[in-house]
């Protein structure tokens, strides 16, 4: 499963004390992680049960700045999130005749659905269309995230913090 990973481009080293830059960057990373978790949580808000929670790992070294948000918690919820996010080529689950999905491809939202799982079948019922949530969030947040990191560094460089 593809995680949401927002990465800032390498920043040229200047004579700015790392002791001033790192806390400000870590603060921005935490803000970005919260935005990513909020976006991902919206995709599962209508799920009644077996839904994942989302956890963010941040990395701030001299060579990379990464916000990595992944599903965690309920194992079946993590699996279900992965199947919906990436899509599947096959599906052996038969759904009730009135079934209406809670999520749609390309939308960072979840709405109450209708119907649900009926039974496992021995034949392919057609795959699950990829929702692409992690790709959508990464594409949506990449530029603002990089801009925010550059703004923080510029403020420290110009104003000293």
Q: Residues 145, 8: contact at Cβ < 8 Å?
A: yes
C-alpha span between 71 and 78 (Å, rounded): 6
Alpha helix locations (H) across the chain? 18-44, 75-86, 133-159
**Whole-number pLDDT of residue 49:** 86
Strands 52-60 and 4-7 come out as unpaired
C-alpha span between 105 and 113 (Å, rounded): 14
Q: What is the pTM of this model?
A: 0.82
Domain count, the chain: 1
Query: With pLDDT > 90 as the criterion, what percentage of the chain qualifies?
Result: 58
End-to-end CA gap in the chain: 39
Q: Residues 112, 102: contact at Cβ < 8 Å?
A: yes
Whether residue 6 has pLDDT greater than 70: no
The domain of 38 spans 4-159
Range scoring the smallest mean pLDDT among 12-26, 32-46, 67-81: 12-26
70 confidence band (pLDDT: 50, 70, 90): very high
C-alpha span between 152 and 25 (Å, rounded): 7
**Whole-number pLDDT of residue 12:** 57
The residue assigned the tokens 């991902």 is 40
- If residue 52 lies in a helix (H) or strand (E), which one and from where to where? strand 52-60
């Amino acid at each position: 499963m593809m995680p949401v990973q927002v990465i800032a481009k390498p920043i040229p080293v200047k004579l700015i004390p790392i002791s001033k830059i790192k806390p400000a960057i870590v603060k921005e990373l935490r803000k970005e992680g919260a935005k990513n978790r909020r976006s991902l949580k919206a995709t599962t808000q209508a799920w009644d049960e077996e839904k994942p929670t989302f956890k963010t790992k941040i990395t701030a070294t001299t060579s990379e700045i990464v916000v990595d948000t992944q599903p965690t918690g309920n194992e079946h919820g993590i699996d279900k999130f992965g199947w919906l996010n990436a899509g599947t080529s096959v599906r052996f689950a038969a759904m009730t005749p009135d079934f209406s999905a809670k999520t749609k491809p390309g939308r960072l939202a979840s709405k109450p659905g209708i119907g649900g799982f009926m039974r496992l079948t021995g034949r392919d019922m057609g795959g699950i269309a990829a929702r692409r949530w992690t790709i959508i969030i990464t594409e949506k947040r990449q530029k603002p995230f990089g801009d925010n990191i550059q703004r923080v560094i510029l403020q420290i460089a110009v104003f000293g913090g």
